[in-house]
Amino acid sequence: MSHNRYPAAVDVAIVGSGPTASAYARILSEEAPGVTIAMFEVGPTVSNPPGAHVKNIEDPERRSHAQRASEGPGAGSQTVNSPGAVKSGDRLARPGTFLLPDGYAFPDEDGLPVGAMSSNVGGMAAHWTAACPRPGGRERIAFLPDLEHLLDEADRLLGVTSHAFDGAPFSNLVRERLASAVDEGRGPAFRVKPMPLAVHRREDGCLVWSGADVVLGDVTRANPRFELFDESLVTRVVLDDGRAVGVEVKSRRTGEIHPVAARYVVVGADALRTPQLLWASGIRPDALGRYLNDQAQVVFASRLRDVKAEDGQMAANGALSQQSGVAWVPYTDEMPFHGQIMQLDASPVPLAEDDPVIPGSIVGLGLFCAKDLQREDRVAFDDDTLDAYGMPAMRIHYRLTDRDHEVLERAKQEIVRLGNAVGEPLDESPFILPPGASLHYQGTARMGATDDGESVCSPDGQVWQVPGLFVAGNGVIPTSTACNPTLTAVALAVRGARKIAEELSTPLLMSESDNRMSK
């Protein structure tokens, strides 16, 4: 029997339920509480509250089930736990994510062989590492005068702190050793510091990783005008006379397609699927999908020298744990890589049996490199071939330029220098992960100061020439960044959400602006 669980009309339809889509729901719930909001997510709910990080699920079997349920068409495939494990050269996804089955590389191009996505309530942020550094130097978006304030807001929404691992064994030592290698000549913002992380401690002392649940917050969950629909694929943004007026939603439970009218549509469906949905809707500005950029990543491992086990330290199971600290070596324009230095409690390389690991003494170093942005690097779509969801299949064109290779060589030298500064290297040489491994894809729905053909949306995230349609996510970031992008993407979502809240609360201004936009 047919059953339509969707509303006929809402004020704002939001596509996706990751941290950027959730930021829209949160700001609208805070600043425009009278507004009706429907959020559509193609994947299932895998955690409680919806969108919560799966690392917060204590039972390993339930956690693994939640990861599998997030892997969409890739569920059941073998996965690798850490970026370093990709060293095997196999094309494997990380738990909770899935890879493109085809179209990820073309002859004579590098492609994005391990470009990944997640399909679950909360998106990739149910699986992420939660590092939330601020962009610096040329990573910043120069045409946004309020960027710093927006980043403060993103910190608030994600629950970011730099003190989660205060007191973690050897974390001060790691930072001191890194600082002595890099801080000289750097301004205060660019010196080594604890990594800001989206994490908090419960009253019982346990760590809770922020997911989209934290971004949504109690205010959204308590908002009677907000509804989240999981297992709901948005197949099309509906336009009327050039303006977004709603979406078509396909229930993954019944297979039925239903229209939902909306005054505003926000697409926060990740950097690959946001352009896919616009393409499928016939919204095809030339910049769509272009300037795709991933942060090439180099990894290396070291073991702290001259340290002794402290009383009461418990070995955990090889992942980032409560014993772990994360240090940040910020990007600079001169050294265009971002360092994420994680203390692990198990070695990524086998050690002798009579050589037990002191928790916190193994250091996994990762440098993310800023890409040399190219218009031709892009996600394109094949109208004649459908993906597992029935959407136009993705075709990735992606090349590392000579400059990218130069930066990677410098990053390799730098990571060895950092590894030697903190301890004794465990790896013979640094390893470059295959393109896509960073899980930080940007540029495909990029923001611009003006509609000059090189951008998809305005500084508010509104798609040029399509009133009522906003885009969100890492794809909106227009600069070449090396730092983890989610904080910045959430900051940009705050700006867009405020724009909608403002327009919805001033109907007269809204219609004036609509007239202007449709001319």
Q: Which of residues 267-326 bind ligand FAD (CB under 6 A)?
A: 268-270, 273, 277
CA-wise closest residue to 433 among 83, 100, 24:
83
Residue 485 found at the interface with ligand FAD (CB under 6 A): yes
Q: Which of 11, 20, 392, 393 binds ligand FAD (CB under 6 A)?
A: 20
Residues acting as catalytic residues: 440
Least distance to ligand FAD, CB of residue 359, Å: 21
Compare residues 250 and 498 and give the one whose CB is closer to ligand FAD: 250
Which of these ranges, 116-124, 288-296, 414-422, 445-453, lies near ligand FAD under the rule CB under 6 A?
Answer: 116-124
Q: Provide the 10 A C-beta neighbour count for residue 5.
A: 14
Q: Which of 147, 489, 491, 501 binds ligand FAD (CB under 6 A)?
A: 489
Residue 159 found at the interface with ligand FAD (CB under 6 A): no
Least distance to ligand FAD, CB of residue 271, Å: 7
Q: Which of 161, 332, 361, 474 binds ligand FAD (CB under 6 A)?
A: 474
Compare residues 425 and 473 and give the one whose CB is closer to ligand FAD: 473
Query: What is the rounded (10 degree) CA torsion for 256, 261, 262, 268?
Result: 20
Q: Which of residues 228-247 bind ligand FAD (CB under 6 A)?
A: 233-234
Residue 6 found at the interface with ligand FAD (CB under 6 A): no
User: Can you list the positions of beta strands (E) in 28-175?
Assistant: 37-40, 98-99, 116-117, 160-161
Q: Which of 55, 127, 303, 397 binds ligand FAD (CB under 6 A)?
A: 127
Whole-Å CA distances, 441 to 258, 270, 396, 448, 480? 31, 8, 12, 17, 11
Compare residues 129 and 251 and give the one whose CB is closer to ligand FAD: 129
Q: Which of 6, 40, 104, 381 binds ligand FAD (CB under 6 A)?
A: 40
Retrieve residue 487's tokens.
């904080």
Q: Provide the 10 A C-beta neighbour count for residue 122.
A: 34
Q: Please give, one letter per residue, the 3-state secondary structure of 223-263.
A: CCCEEEECCEEEEEEEEECCEEEEEEEEECCCCCEEEEEEE
Residue 17 found at the interface with ligand FAD (CB under 6 A): yes
Least distance to ligand FAD, CB of residue 198, Å: 8
Site string for ligand FAD, 58-97 (x = CB under 6 A): ------------------------------------x--x
Least distance to ligand FAD, CB of residue 395, Å: 17
Least distance to ligand FAD, CB of residue 506, Å: 28
> Are residues 461 and 488 in contact, defined by beta-carbon separation less than 8 angstroms?
no
CA-wise closest residue to 363 among 411, 412, 420, 439:
420
Q: Provide the 10 A C-beta neighbour count for residue 359.
A: 23
Question: Residues in contact with ligand FAD, total (CB under 6 A)?
Answer: 39
Q: Which of 11, 13, 18, 377 binds ligand FAD (CB under 6 A)?
A: 18
Q: Which of 74, 246, 430, 473 binds ligand FAD (CB under 6 A)?
A: 473
Q: Which of 12, 13, 21, 408 binds ligand FAD (CB under 6 A)?
A: 21
Residue 125 found at the interface with ligand FAD (CB under 6 A): yes
Residue 46 found at the interface with ligand FAD (CB under 6 A): no
DSSP string over 110-146: ---TT-EE--STTGGGGT---B-PPP-GGGS-TT-TT
Q: Which of residues 358-397 bind ligand FAD (CB under 6 A)?
A: none
Compare residues 270 and 503 and give the one whose CB is closer to ligand FAD: 270
Give the whole-angstrom CA distance, residue 387 versus residue 110: 22
Contacts made by residues 500-508, CB under 8 angstroms, sequence distance 24+: 500/12, 500/24, 500/28, 500/32, 500/264, 500/266, 500/470, 501/27, 501/28, 501/31, 501/32, 501/35, 503/264, 504/11, 504/12, 504/32, 504/35, 504/263, 504/264, 505/32
Q: Which of 67, 79, 118, 161 binds ligand FAD (CB under 6 A)?
A: 118
Beta carbons within 8 Å of 463's beta carbon, 6+ residues apart:
278, 283, 285, 445, 456, 457, 469, 470, 471
Which residues are paired to 304 by β-bridges?
423
Residue 499 found at the interface with ligand FAD (CB under 6 A): no
Q: Which of 25, 173, 199, 439 binds ligand FAD (CB under 6 A)?
A: 439
Least distance to ligand FAD, CB of residue 60, Å: 17
The end-to-end CA distance of the chain, in Å, is 45
Q: What is Dmax (Cα atoms) for the chain?
A: 75
Which of these ranges, 102-110, 115-123, 292-300, 427-435, lies near ligand FAD under the rule CB under 6 A?
Answer: 115-123
> Are residues 267 and 469 in contact, defined by beta-carbon separation less than 8 angstroms?
yes
Return residues touching ligand FAD (CB under 6 A).
15-21, 40-43, 94, 97, 118-120, 123-125, 127-131, 233-234, 268-270, 273, 277, 439-440, 473-474, 484-486, 489
